[in-house]
Chains A and B, each alone.
Chain A
Amino acid sequence: MPAMTMTKPAKQAQLAVFLGFVDLISERYGLDRDHAHRLKLVLEEAIVNVVEHGYATRHEPGDLTLVADVDADGVAVVTLQDHGTPFGPDDAPPPDLDSDWVQRRVGGLGWHLIRELADAVAYHPGDAGGGRPNVLTLRVGGARPRADEARGAAQGGAA
């Protein structure tokens, strides 16, 4: 089964389209309920980061590209590519989870959830221009392994 890809402008008006694509990834790769939930959460947080912050200094936001695939071990691998201001997991301060309600910040939870729920997170900053993109790769298990995907597709084709 080929990788799934979508590219749209990284703007608020496209958020529902991006989130709909995330639901399709889990459905297509057969993630179980728990892993589908985890994948949905980490991808929403990552997409929202790009939409709300990545192009904040630009008059018109650039594109965000999502590429999803599954490996031989049944791990869903999703990359997000954008040309906005680089900002990775190491740039995000950890939230203070022990502060009281007065001190607790309303924001800052997105990267925390990504770090907690993804099986692996890798970030390679780009050049913040039209050249090399920022690439965030997120891995979440629980999908049908790629070999099974290929067999399923072959059986489907023969039926």
Chain B
Amino acid sequence: MRSFEVETRAQDGATIVAVAGSVDAVTSPRLSEALQAAATGGGHRVVVDLAGVTYVSSAGLRAILAGVKAARTAGGNLVVAAAQPQVRDVFELAGLTTIVAFHDEVAAAVAGLG
């Protein structure tokens, strides 16, 4: 059983999607589902809290990029918080840090949503 958890909560007018474990080809459909629900519901303001994520593959990158597109298309935004360096490196390699804003902490990420 691969380690993976995703929880969604409301905070200061945003939807926080907190993820933990390995975001890979096996687990990423659950992240996609949570991000699409968060991006298309509520105020379309989403923070993906990656503090507990130890690994992300292109399957996870696709889930987050699709979430960004869904949130922005709905008039909102999706940003990332608290990614560990090894995880952030994968986003950089894939050229996604120019598209998705990264913040060190969730509170700053919520503020960054504007």
Contacts and interface: CB of A to CB of B under 8 A. Distances in A.
Interface of A: 15-16, 19-20, 34, 37, 40-41, 44-45, 47-48, 51, 95, 97-98, 100-102, 104, 106-107, 109-110, 112-113, 116-117
Contacts, number: 63
B58 interface: yes
B62 interface: yes
Contact of B26 (A16, A34, A41, A95): A16
A101 B72 contact: yes
18 contacts: A16-B2, A19-B26, A37-B86, A41-B57, A44-B24, A44-B57, A48-B59, A97-B95, A98-B95, A101-B65, A101-B68, A101-B72, A102-B69, A104-B65, A106-B65, A106-B66, A113-B58, A113-B90
A19 B94 contact: no
B29 to A, nearest CB: 10
9 cross-chain pairs, A with B, having the tightest CB-CB distances, nearest first: A97-B95, A109-B58, A44-B57, A101-B99, A48-B25, A110-B58, A16-B26, A109-B94, A106-B62
A95 B36 CA distance: 24
A102 B90 CA distance: 21
Nearest to B25: A48
Contacts of A44: 24-25, 57, 59
Nearest to B62: A106
A47 to B, nearest CB: 8
Interface in B54-98: 55, 57-59, 61-62, 65-66, 68-69, 72, 86, 90, 93-95, 98
Interface residues of B, number: 22
Contacts of A51: 25
B62 A109 contact: yes
A117 B93 CA distance: 9
Contacts of A95: 94-95
Nearest to A97: B95
B61 A109 contact: yes
Given A41-B55, A45-B58, A109-B58, 19 more contacts: A16-B2, A19-B26, A37-B55, A41-B57, A44-B25, A47-B25, A48-B57, A51-B25, A97-B94, A97-B98, A100-B99, A101-B65, A101-B72, A106-B62, A106-B65, A112-B93, A113-B57, A113-B90, A116-B93
Interface in B33-63: 55, 57-59, 61-62
Nearest to B64: A106
A104 B91 CA distance: 14
